[in-house]
Amino acid sequence: MDITLPAMKQLEAYNNRDIEAFMDCYSKDCFVEDGEGNILMENKEQMRERYKDLFNSSPNLHCTLLSRTVVGSYVLDEESVVGSRGSNEKSHVIAVYRVANGLIEHVRFLR
């Protein structure tokens, strides 16, 4: 299996603001951390609520993939995000996805 597939699918769903397709890319017990290791979301239900709110409040939300690197079970995406909650400012992000059994089980965002 191509380890980048869940990252590719979730990016497409993110840009389409499709919460169901987005959540299908994540394991039940996935969690999300910031760059310092602080837990932002502890499970799939917390993710669903936060991203559902983001998608609903961000009609122009768009993430552009700048580069992608694979190291073992990790996919590192360098991204440029615009349109979050109506903002026109660009955000530069490195998203580190740990993939297992075809699903993303851990995300760390470096900003």
Cα Rg of the chain, angstroms: 13
Read off the pLDDT of residues 36-64 as tens digits, 9 standing for 90 and up. 999 999 999 999 999 999 999 999 999 99
Reply yes or no on whether the pLDDT at 86 is more than 90.
no
CA distance linking residue 65 with residue 43, whole number of Å: 25
- The range of the structural domain enclosing residue 41 comes to 5-110
Reply yes or no on whether the pLDDT at 67 is more than 90.
yes
Query: 59 by DSSP, 3-state: which?
Result: coil
Number of structural domains (the chain) is 1
Question: Can you tell me the mean pLDDT for 81-98?
Answer: 95
Mean residue pLDDT across the chain: 97
Indicate which CATH number applies to the domain containing 32: 3.10.450.50
- Tell me what pLDDT residue 41 has: 98
CA distance linking residue 83 with residue 103, whole number of Å: 26
Reply yes or no on whether the pLDDT at 31 is more than 90.
yes
Which token pair is 98? Answer: 């740990």
